[in-house]
Amino acid sequence: MKRYSPEKKRAMQKKMLPPYNISISSLAKSEGISKSTLIRWRKEALTQIKIQHLQNEQTLIYRDKTPSEKNIHEGLQFTIKTIIKI
């Protein structure tokens, strides 16, 4: 399996996402990278974007709470995590 530098991977991910939206087929032909590799990189990039979005949402939700509400929220999260483990 050929190894690509992180810089090359990021450059390809950027080309596959907005505003460029270059097709995987076109990139595979022009860059000489397999379609399966490009598909995997695109999925990884989209997953990372979703994670960042959720973290930003969580920060906004958490930031709007008073200190006592934050303690209640943390307590509920701990309780839910404990119940899920049981």
> pLDDT above 90 covers what percent of the chain?
53
**For 51-82, what is each residue's pLDDT tens digit?**
888 877 777 665 666 666 666 667 777 677 66
CA–CA separation, 6 and 17 (whole Å): 17
CA–CA separation, 10 and 40 (whole Å): 12
Query: CA nearest 4: which of 24, 25, 32?
Result: 32
**For 15-48, what is each residue's pLDDT tens digit?**
999 999 999 999 999 999 999 999 999 999 999 9
Rounded to two decimals, the pTM is 0.66
